[in-house]
Amino acid sequence: MSNKIKIGVVGCRVGRNWVAGAKAGEETIAWAVADLDQELARQVAEENDVPKVYGDYRELLADDEVEAVGIATAPDVRKPMVIDALNAGKHVLVQKPHGRNAEDVREINAVAEVTGKTLVYSYFMRHQAENKESRQFIADGKIGRVYHARVHYHYRERGANYDPPPGSSWLYRWGFKGGALGQHGSHYLDQAWFLMGCPQPEWAFAVSHSAFPTTLEVERHSEDYLSFLVGCAGGITIQMDTSAVIPTWADGVRDFRLRILGTNGTIEVESTSLPSGQKRSGTRRLLGAIYPEGNDFVDESVDHADGDFNAEVRDFVGAIHGAHPPDVSPEDALTFMKVLDAIYLSAETGEKVQIDP
């Protein structure tokens, strides 16, 4: 028991999955939670046998028993919390979107470098076994030279004239990474980039729409639809379109398709949910449609999943122990945020934007 890492989580609405992961882990203890919503904090603590409940995150950081912290608050308030946690001597896992922009991530990374504490960023799709296997399959050259990815992710989270929930205005303000891409679609952009081996991004070109106005009084609200192309080293390209408002169906539905194209084959991922809660496809194809020789077809399927938070916590702990590098390193997080920044800047200006290496 004494060798287990005691984990604290700040922000229980999103962070409750990490609390459950810390409880489930063989090397972790779900030790503390902090949230200004004390009712929510107590509920999450009771569900996961967490002994310590705090209001202010600084109270959690002052707890000497806490060795590692997951920061799952909104990006408009997260950076100082992460920096405070690192300076308090805690290892830190950072929720996505990792900041408001690349400069936020760069500042956080610099503090981690000075303190020497382990810093890991969240993109939980990387932790799924089928994604790791597919990445290795591609790295082994099974589909030849990878040259293009296409991602389609549409979901319905809000209708027209939506009202921002309390404390969630960042989701509806342009520039805070809370729209169709930043809040949800970025998971699948990162998944495509990860599967392709994280090629160095070079430029982005994007168009966006904010067709459904919010009651929040802002000069420009976050995008409802975004379509873009990212160019990477070696002529590799990633194409994506994502929407937060599907005009039909009920809230909570989604339509996701991802295709990685190689010179000898293709890997496909597909999952579509229906208003009834059922899935139209119901599977995530591990190897998808592979055509390495002639018309041979391989279709290995596994049950579709939404990411693996337990594995994300295990990866965090493994990185703390030095057993392996984190699945989402500080370098990866900074590069990916530069990509997001370039996409949004292109959508604003209508111009192709170069990405600083």
Nearest to 113 by CA among 140, 83, 133, 143: 83
User: Chain centroid to CA 312: how far?
Assistant: 11
pLDDT over 60 (residue 300):
no
Report CA-CA distances (Å) from 338 to 49, 178, 325: 39, 16, 21
| Three-state DSSP class for residue 351 | coil
pLDDT of residue 165: 66
Q: Provide the whole-model pTM.
A: 0.90
**By mean pLDDT, which of 80-84, 113-117, 235-239, 269-273 is the weakest?**
269-273
pLDDT of residue 22: 95
Query: Torsions phi, psi of 185, nearest 5?
Result: -60, -25
Contact 37, 57 (CB under 8 A): no
pLDDT of residue 296: 47
Residue 30, token pair as written in the block: 């779900």
Residue 168 banded pLDDT, cuts 50, 70, 90: confident
Contact 4, 27 (CB under 8 A): yes
pLDDT over 70 (residue 192):
yes
pLDDT above 70 covers a percentage of the chain that reads: 83
pLDDT above 90 covers a percentage of the chain that reads: 61
Q: Three-class SS string for 160-224?
A: CCCCCCCCCHHHHECCCCCCHHHHHHHHHHHHHHHHCCCCCEEEEEEEEECCCCCCCCCCCECCC
Domain-wise residue ranges, the chain: 5-121+310-327, 126-306
The CATH code belonging to domain 5-121+310-327 is 3.40.50.720
Torsion from C-alpha of 218, 223, 229, 231, nearest 10 degrees: 50
Encode pLDDT of 34-46 as tens digits.
999 999 999 999 9
Q: Which residues contact 51 (CB under 8 A, 6 or more apart)?
A: 31, 32, 45
Q: Is the peptide bond before 75 cis (omega within 30 degrees of 0)?
A: no
CATH superfamily of 126-306: Dihydrodipicolinate Reductase; domain 2 (3.30.360.10)
Render 68-126 in DSSP notation, one character per residue: EEEE-S-HHHHHHHHHHHHHTT-EEEEPSS--SSHHHHHHHHHHHHHHT--EEE--GGG
Nearest to 232 by CA among 266, 265, 260: 260
Most confident range, picked from 127-136, 225-234, 278-287: 225-234
Query: Torsions phi, psi of 270, nearest 5?
Result: -150, 140
Encode pLDDT of 266-294 as tens digits.
888 877 765 555 554 433 343 444 444 44
Residue 111, token pair as written in the block: 């503090």
Residue 175, token pair as written in the block: 């520039």
Residue 159 banded pLDDT, cuts 50, 70, 90: low
The alpha carbon dihedral of 43, 48, 54, 56 has a sign of: negative
Find the mean pLDDT for residues 31-36. 97
**Dist CA 8 CA 51 (whole Å):** 11
